[in-house]
Structure 1
Amino acid sequence: MYKVLITDDEPMIREGLRTLIEWEELGFQVVDTAANGKEALQKAERYSPDLMIIDIRMPGMTGLEVIETLRKKDESVHVLILSGYADFDYAKKAIALSIDGYLLKPVEEDELVEYLQKLKSALDKETDLQQRQSEQVEWNMERTIQAMLTSAEEQLPVQEGELAGAGLLWDGYNVALIRLQHDGKEAEPSERAAFKKRLCQVFDEKGRGTIFISELHIGLLLKENLQFEQVRKAVYKEIEALAAELLLEATVSAGGRVKRFSEINRSYEEALKLLKQRFFYEGNQLITQATEPVCKAEDCTPAPVDQEECADIIDKMYFALDIGNEAAIDQLVTGTGHLFITRGCSEQVIKSLFVQILTGVLGKMSQHDADVYARSGQVSVAIMEIYQLTRYSAMERHVIQLLKGLNASASQGDSADKLMRKMIDLIQRNYDENLKLESLADVFNYNSAYLGKLFKNTTGEYFNTYLDKVRIEKAKEFLGQGMKVYQVAEKVGYANVDYFHAKFRKYVGSSPSGFRKK
């Protein structure tokens, strides 16, 4: 709708023009009226009308004086003059001021409509031209920025005059990058285009910055100084609110402030690096070099995580679940994540490792718990949801929640007697697993030497001796059922048959084959 301001000293004329025609059907809206020239100028300043209808003769400031004053500030506003009679001297002066028409009172509806139709056509053309010019300027600025991001200073010199002409001659520059998602997936091109348009309205059109596209990200070259926390928070809230309007989620990073336009590629590279590491930062904030990651690796030593380490973690998590120790589960998940980060693992590697570990724990639990086995399909789907999570902290909470969901007998702490009963029960039910005192110490949150001493005081046996005796007793049962020696060895937890032979002879006094013949 094009805005109209009506000015006449007669109330009946002002209100009559308001109701004479259906303005909105013709593409216009009467935003206000004024009773004199001074009021007309004040309201013109407030509303920036596209069309003013002005009485040529008014007490005080005449209509022509109003138009003369307007033209000094705004040559583009369209004007229709109202007059009670034909006054050719006034008409000549008005023509010199580039008016669009001359209406005699009382105003004829058809005549006014005819003028408005012509003005609507002219305004549409002007708007289209302004839009194309604006888009051209925007495109030129975006191309200039994009070229600077990928070129060295000496390869692409930019003169101050060019920057000033493009509106880019500032005291300093910050590059911010925005990644948009919808329901955990990358935003569609149409969604990014709609967001970019809203971003332009808030930043570009208000002279606060300029927008550009960088791969799948939307870039924002900011005039504001993001070194100040208050500014960072304010900018992030604005971006977050704009994304929320379109039901999108925004992750925002920003590089350091640079003084010269030719250095913006440095700020851009910093922002891009931070955006790629977004998984390791909390949400709801603008990520900069000063932002602390959720899990900081002080001494990062890049190295792969091998299968043996994963198997050990699986065992510990399984044992923690088996004895119902929620505190141990929390510590194991946190410690495991920290291990992966100190090894320099990427987001995808960390997610894959946790999926592997949880799948292994689920497999062990399913073998010993019918309820878990019945829910294993549902749990497997929940495990795969790890890949959709965009924050490390959210993934950590998800993993802990999944593990605790497998555990029906959680407890925070036990007395020494109860602890030993749980440990003995665990050995009796899991003798075929890779049981180690050090692993169980981690699960029970005890020093391994102290736990070993406590175990011997309770059972009268060292941990490894007790485990061997439990395994050998079970082996005797299986041999009595006619199982082959290598099958029995594997079934009671000995991967090496010769080692099983040695242990069996030590505790029974004969070989497994000899025992079976008795």
Structure 2
Amino acid sequence: MKRVLVVDDERPVVETIELMVRRDLSAEFSVVGEASSGREAVEKAQTLAPDIVLMDVWMPGISGLDAVREIRARGLACVFILVTAYERFDIAREAMELGVLDYLLKPVVRDKLAAALRAAAAFADRRFELERREIEHREREERLRSFVEEAFLRAVMSGDGSGFDPERYRAALGIPGTRAVVGAAAFRALPGSPDPRDEIRGLYGSFRQAVRYKTRALAGPLRSGFSAVLLPVSGMDSAEAEIEALRVGLTQALYSELKDGRIRFGFSPAAPLGEAPASWIAAYRECLGLGSADGFGPSNPAASAAARREDEKAFLESLVSGDPDRARWALERILESMRIAGEPSVSVRYRLIGLFAEACRNLEVRGFLGTGTAGRLLDLDGLRSAPGMEGLAEAARALFSAIAQAVGEAPRWSVPVARAAAYIREHFSRPISLESAAASIPLSPARLSRIFAEETGRTFSEFLTGVRIEKAKELLSEPGASVKLVSAACGYPDPNYFARLFKKETGYTPTSFASVSREGTDEKP
């Protein structure tokens, strides 16, 4: 049903039109308001949002045509029908220029009113459909542009200049000129963030919005905590000014994120668009603090080795301290220094494998990774068999993401409780007690017992039993496992006591559990 506003300073005319609509056209139209002057018509149109306006030409104050002009200026999508006592060419011409659809002569006749309203309703429907199609077309264009923009920036972020053809993208993206500045953006959640991955996605969203609405640059996809920004420049003379404008725009939009280090940028010098992949590497290196493209990192081998050791130390410490983004940053620096050295040698590859192995052991000892999870993550065949430097880097990032996810899901205990849990995991095969664990921290047994139960939800003894039983299940799954040897390896010198306890905890005897595990059935608990 279409909404109608009736505007006329003659009350009988208004009442007659309202009566005809209510009596004969109520299934199609509804009079939602009336006005007796041009100014009132403008106000009512603003508040009532009618589909159709029946507008008298001559009224006190501003005329009907002036009211139409003002309503149009305010962007309201009304269809106008003039109501007039005179057939004058000058009025008709001005009305046509304002987009008035039709006019009715007074006194208004029911059939002509119905025809005019139906024509206006059909016009409104057609206009709505055209607007809807135009919006859909724009949305399709925007989706296509976003797809092309992402494909273009992905090609840039690959760092591989072979086969890179910017002309494929220039026309679709409307890139002017043949030169560009490439920037790298790194995103890092603050330590203690409840959901670092979600925070990084939020930072990337703020970055992408700032690039899109505050600059004329292009923003790349989010990959391993990094993204790219590409700014076309007109020429060498204007490059510095355009780069400065980009920096200012990003700084204004992302001031707090840049100030606290959650977002960091690096930029390449202006270069031909065809060299964008190489420019990305330069910007990426600057973002990591490894130097510019022409420096390729520290020239002193001793300094380079020292930096590598510092990055490895930061990687290990950050994982244990609960700062996975700092660890990821350190890993990216390690991978970049490896990439600079060329294809990874066997020794370099195994040094990276050893770094991940040490990280998993540290996390397991401190209670942040369960034994089974640590064992699964320590399957490092992906790093051993990854082809080339790019394959190795992708495998390392995937493994790091799996470790960071497992650590993020682990409970974050206090230092005394974490140390007690680590003590249990390290010494479960020996006769240990609450007293011996408390002495290793050091802390009084009573206080350790209380905070351990509060934070883990289990008593010290229950936690110790759980660790031993999980290890026993792991050992019993091995071919040829002996219940007696497994019992001793898990801190139970009496195999009979071990068997009773194992059945109580799992519902299986050690022998039946070993049998089910080796058969690979779904009955394993």
Fold conserved between structures, TM > 0.5 = no
Please report the TM-score for the alignment, with normalisation by the length of structure 2: 0.38
Q: Give 1 or 2 for the bigger CA radius of gyration.
A: 1
Please report the TM-score for the alignment, with normalisation by the length of structure 1: 0.38
